[in-house]
Structure 1
């Protein structure tokens, strides 16, 4: 066997070997077909240069699985060469790539990188050592971790060569530094970022290297640019969208999840819509191959809220088939996953709820909050799950801060859960430590207790006085909208703090709340109307209510009545014995009004008789309330319904409350008996009427 006559020819063959991805056994075709002999001196010169190319040999052999071997003219000549080349030849022939008789496994990637550190380019005389490049890389990322603002990141990036990996990490770090900033600080930092010259270089390099980026780097780069407020129509964003479209089939679950999060924040345009459609098709094709619960939940998050229901059903069926594999974290994350899909699967959520209830003591605070928040978003109501969480919070009340409990109560209020034990225990804690509450804490506590129509049994007065005292301490610097909300919550609970009312009655405050160009004008008008009613009908103080507002809310209540209740009343009392859809001057709507004699023995049918002898009559207001007007799992009325019942009682009505959903489940004879029992019963005290239960 002969070897090539030229060292340059040899090196060119090796470089072709590196660049040719399809080269296997023919890598050294030029070596095998070389006929010209070579003298020992020429071989010596070439052989001395082989050390500088050993990395290339190893690299080629490792990548392509080819074995490179070199043969001398004869054994004796090989021995002569060893003796003439000295230590250089001895060390070189020890290389397993050059040794005919030795064979070693391919080098690992880390070993290759270490070997590459000695010789980066066999033709470069002053190549930079790999160790120096490695130290610069580590130095860059160490400095990057310590950056606290976008400007710091850009200054750092400007001092280094912008590789695609550094571009991706720099953009992601810029986004991370702005996450915890206030809105004003974010605007200021972004202004500085867009004016920094290195930011434009980052975007240019991102467009240039997009095709070479790893899939997760592509996804994170696009996410960072979108979150930083870079225009969706900009060239860099559109370039990344196009490149991702070309390589989306290669994206793993993590990269798809990041991409889905990014697309959810993007507006509709040609490239974004095409990518969303491709993402859903990719998820649908991968469903049968999914074997892992985490991968399934990632795919479910990817499709977003706008996905077709058929695709959501397929993912639901796949999740139900894997229920036996669900761990406790899987069950918790399924709530947030379904919320991300905007898909309420009661069967799936019920199964996850059972696992959460069994292991409630091992779940941290934020996981419980996410479960409750997702249930609210999905309109999922599970009294057993919510009660278990409330029981756990109450049993460990001392380990939670006031802010954490307020957050729990706020979500319980939105979900309609009234856990009397937890609310009484927290009210006692608030009464003892009211000085530690902030204005936001007070407003949120008032909102929860007024919404659920709950006051502690034994400390009602002390609880309200503590909250009122803290609330009034913030009056000098309180915003008009916060003042309005706080006073309204107090009024719903039947409390009227005089200092807060005086502040609200100031002319400049009322004018600001009722500005016609305000976005909350309608809501403010309705709240002021209810405060006015409370002061007229509940408050015995000498407050001038006419100065608040004489306008009624702009919305009109529904004037339709429940036909099932109407039919039951006719069967119970006969035709034309009740008035339907009575709208009072104060804008309260009564479904059915019945007039009885003073002793509640019989129904009066003559309107003239009713008008002439009002002091000997008893008016009954039949109110049909939907399930949303009651606390979860009970017939305890919520705050607004309770206030309406209280006001109608003050106007002389006897209240009959009919839970529409429960009433419709009764048989006809049971419906008749239900109405007769409550219509002809002795009038109850106002407080008992408000809290009556079927």
Structure 2
């Protein structure tokens, strides 16, 4: 693998004189390297103790300074919870040379290390030249001890290689202890005479032990509470920097957890930078979800956005392997890296709520905290958590429920049942209330405006009495917050208000650091007291300074910044789009998006408050600008074209309205990291069911295709209960409908359609090629069937560019993977295009006919007849190579080749007058006739797979009964 990460860390260290010896490496399955140490020609002169003894006095300083190593001497090292121990201050990093050994000699002498002293008076050479036999250490036996001192005693009696086992065993023992016992044992550990020697041995062996042993020992050292600024910890961090390229997936996981547990410092920051480079290289080879999440959590909030998006894409690819615990943990992981992925969070929310029974409240609180930090709102998730807490209310402590309510208030979510339960509990158990909880409860209920019903008055009285009991202890700001909350709930406890309105309290509030906030709340208080004519206000003249002027509207600030960066005339504000859509700012750039273009008077026309853009004549004919905007699913206009944002919204609304029939599912991510969703239309059935696949919008400019997919879904859902034909189909068929396949391209045609005819007719996806010199792949030339053999181009500038390899694009990869997983059940594949008025069937890349050609022709012609009967539109039926043109890599041909028997491409209206910019006036007729054709095909599919089988069964049964009757007649 590439050594970029190792080189990066090496350059930062800046001490070439101490470079380690070469290492024989053996590649691991992930492509990382694991060292295979070769011991030969060992000499005491090579030992790091000699190197250290001669170089610790060097005046040179490296990345960290003034670290400490546990050592008898004059200085004392003291940390919280640790008894004083002596320490030797040093001014440089210990970088021992690599040890090399003869095969007959042990890497660490049995008694040599035991007797070794790490000072200038001892003779290192005498100690190290003693020949002893190796003493293997039994980690399992060590970890069965009852105290940390037992492990250190074992080391003192017979020190063995590797020293990492001793630290790992001590942490294993410490985990089993209570907090108090662990604190006491750590004090004994630091004062144990063998602890200093063990630390010295660990530093010597760091470069020759296996990488996973090194990382596990560093993890144990950190968890045992050994201070981070000690020479031991800093040495291990530097050695890990040198050996980071040896990390396999297991080591990546451990290293990520270590970095998460450590405080920032130079060595930690450098190691985290190296981890980012390594992860960027190896991200697609990570196999375990736990490792992926550990890496995501440790890379830091300041990681490059490109790396965050890669990790997001990797997580989405592994989504089908997520366990419930993985889904719960993903919220905290994304919050730790400060990256919100709505698609990932939506899918994890479904998993969390679907398996919420028995979930600890601590996990749910962590999820809500992460949602708050990510500014992520999901009412389905919030309601599911609130319902669960309300159902199990008596299980939790009131303090825990209050914490949940505070988080809901942060998220602006009110759950009536849960808040009513909490009110009743507070009235019954007033002993729970303390000063902090009183202020918090009042703030939550006032902020969420939850005050109704009989219990509300009792609740407010109880809270007022509780607050009065703390008037002698409460701070002025807490008193202001509590009283202000009472006033917002139209409740005025006199004792707290009278105390708040005392002049010394008001003066204290006006001189605090939160002066502006306090003035604002005092003004609210004054307004409430005046409006309700509260008697206590008459005795006090509440004169408050005025608040500073409100800040500028955020867009005004953005406009100022754009003006300073770009200059006047290079951007537009409040740009109006068709159908009452608008965008805040528009900046026009060249096709490579490398240069900002000035706006000219020729293409900008000002009319009143709206800024209209000059448009091509055909664009004006396509979209009706006077159409009334829709506000709900009932008013959604199916006879209009819709931007992708509205289609996303429509999918969510329709799955919410018909939850018993249609569900929305995540399919994959586009090149520009937009989510791809499909709709599954299905009804429960006792019969074995087959499936139908339909996709629309594989080419961005063909707007009529997504319009038809939406129309078709609407027709199925509105008529399945009353229409026997549709009801019969749903009994035996499931529908998978992908409304827009080429989402990036489709959005591109909408965002540029008003300025350029060429961009409105954009065909391909938006993937970048040749270092950003050209964009897009024809997704219908990218499937793995006779790829790029005919009717396609390998030039990325061409409209029919087939991609860099088969299924190279994330969109085609997502579709292919899904259909491959369902191909045993899918019996019909339909892909909707325009224009030409054609029903195409395989093949496009050869004149050879498929084995079921006659059946395909017959079914297709029948569909064309049904289509014509609707509005008289003529469609031709045949293979692409015969009636249109030769193509390779199409989804239609690929579907047939993987075993789907019925595979068709619909080229919708018209025959050429409007082409790809079919006017909205023709949407309804086009969708009505195409629906008739599709249902005709589905009728034939149904007859082949169910009706004929049923008829066969009836015929056989009738024959048997006839034979039995004939047999009886003989007697």
TM-score, with length taken from structure 2: 0.39
CA distance in 2, matches of 1:481, 1:167: 53
**Match for residue 961 of structure 2?**
none
Structure 1 residues 31-46: aligned runs within 5 Å: none
Structure 1 residues 568-579: aligned runs within 5 Å: none
Structure 1 residues 318-329: aligned runs within 5 Å: 318-329=314-325
- DSSP 3-state at the match of 2:537: coil
CA distance in 2, matches of 1:336, 1:128: 46
CA distance in 1, matches of 2:169, 2:427: 50
Of residues 141, 145, 170, the one that matches 1:142 is 145
**Match for residue 239 of structure 1?**
235
1:535–1:545 Cα contact (<8 Å) kept: no
Of residues 478, 491, 494, the one that matches 1:495 is 491
User: Does 190-199 or 430-439 show the bigger shift?
Assistant: 190-199
**Match for residue 869 of structure 2?**
none
- DSSP 3-state at the match of 1:477: coil
CA distance in 2, matches of 1:390, 1:483: 29
Aligned-residue offset at 1:242: 0.9
CA distance in 1, matches of 2:450, 2:310: 43
Aligned-residue offset at 1:353: 1.6
Bigger proportion of residues as strand: 2
Pair 1:428–1:154, CA change in 2 (3 A):
same
CA deviation map 1:76-131 (0-9, x unaligned): xxxxxxxxxxxxxxxxxxxxxxxxxxxxxxxxxxxxxxxxxxxxxxx98xx9998x
Pair 1:295–1:169, CA change in 2 (3 A):
closer
**Match for residue 530 of structure 1?**
524
**Match for residue 557 of structure 1?**
550
CA distance in 2, matches of 1:165, 1:177: 19
2:477–2:509 Cα contact (<8 Å) kept: yes
Structure 1 residues 474-553: aligned runs within 5 Å: 474-506=470-502, 509-510=505-506, 512-515=508-511, 518=513, 520-538=514-532, 540-543=534-537, 546=540, 550-553=544-547
Structure 1 residues 8-157: aligned runs within 5 Å: 138=141, 142-144=145-147
1:291 aligns with 2:290: no
Of residues 300, 304, 307, the one that matches 2:300 is 304
- DSSP 3-state at the match of 2:267: helix
Pair 1:474–1:158, CA change in 2 (3 A):
farther
Bigger proportion of residues as helix: 1
- DSSP 3-state at the match of 2:472: helix
CA deviation map 1:243-275 (0-9, x unaligned): 111222333555434533544576766533332
Aligned-residue offset at 1:346: 1.0
1:453 aligns with 2:435: no
Aligned-residue offset at 1:338: 1.5
Pair 1:497–1:211, CA change in 2 (3 A):
farther
Aligned-residue offset at 1:537: 3.7
Of residues 371, 375, 384, the one that matches 1:375 is 371
**Match for residue 433 of structure 2?**
437
CA distance in 2, matches of 1:313, 1:20: 41
Unaligned residue ranges in structure 1 (runs of 5+): 1-18, 24-59, 64-122, 568-632, 634-694
CA deviation map 1:112-162 (0-9, x unaligned): xxxxxxxxxxx98xx9998xx86x995786333xx7xxxx99998998778
Aligned-residue offset at 1:544: 5.9
**Match for residue 458 of structure 2?**
462
Unaligned residue ranges in structure 2 (runs of 5+): 1-36, 42-102, 107-130, 557-572, 577-652, 654-971
Structure 1 residues 345-384: aligned runs within 5 Å: 345-384=341-380
Aligned-residue offset at 1:213: 5.6
Aligned-residue offset at 1:167: 6.2
2:142–2:166 Cα contact (<8 Å) kept: no
Pair 1:467–1:157, CA change in 2 (3 A):
farther
CA distance in 2, matches of 1:221, 1:533: 64
CA distance in 2, matches of 1:161, 1:500: 71
2:446–2:488 Cα contact (<8 Å) kept: yes
CA distance in 2, matches of 1:178, 1:552: 59
CA distance in 2, matches of 1:359, 1:404: 21
Aligned-residue offset at 1:456: 3.2
2:510–2:518 Cα contact (<8 Å) kept: yes
1:211 aligns with 2:201: no
Aligned-residue offset at 1:398: 2.4
Pair 1:512–1:172, CA change in 2 (3 A):
farther
1:410–1:448 Cα contact (<8 Å) kept: yes
CA distance in 2, matches of 1:483, 1:559: 32
Aligned-residue offset at 1:172: 5.2
Structure 1 residues 238-277: aligned runs within 5 Å: 238-253=234-249, 255-263=251-259, 270-277=266-273
CA deviation map 1:357-410 (0-9, x unaligned): 322324332222222121111111111111122122222222222122112111
Pair 1:324–1:560, CA change in 2 (3 A):
closer
1:172–1:220 Cα contact (<8 Å) kept: no
**Match for residue 705 of structure 2?**
none
CA distance in 2, matches of 1:533, 1:445: 23
CA deviation map 1:622-669 (0-9, x unaligned): xxxxxxxxxxx9xxxxxxxxxxxxxxxxxxxxxxxxxxxxxxxxxxxx
**Match for residue 416 of structure 1?**
412
- DSSP 3-state at the match of 1:361: coil
2:484–2:525 Cα contact (<8 Å) kept: yes
- DSSP 3-state at the match of 2:242: helix
Pair 1:501–1:180, CA change in 2 (3 A):
farther
CA distance in 2, matches of 1:405, 1:338: 25
Pair 1:129–1:304, CA change in 2 (3 A):
closer
**Match for residue 167 of structure 2?**
168
**Match for residue 472 of structure 1?**
468
How many positions carry a matched residue from both structures? Answer: 436
CA deviation map 1:187-221 (0-9, x unaligned): x9999999998876665555344335664564466
2:332–2:366 Cα contact (<8 Å) kept: yes
CA distance in 1, matches of 2:198, 2:381: 49
Aligned-residue offset at 1:479: 3.8
Structure 1 residues 614-629: aligned runs within 5 Å: none
User: Does 395-404 or 260-269 show the bigger shift?
Assistant: 260-269
Aligned-residue offset at 1:478: 3.1
Pair 1:211–1:526, CA change in 2 (3 A):
farther
CA distance in 2, matches of 1:231, 1:545: 60
1:401 aligns with 2:397: yes
Pair 1:256–1:438, CA change in 2 (3 A):
farther
**Match for residue 341 of structure 1?**
337
Aligned-residue offset at 1:452: 0.8
Aligned-residue offset at 1:279: 0.4
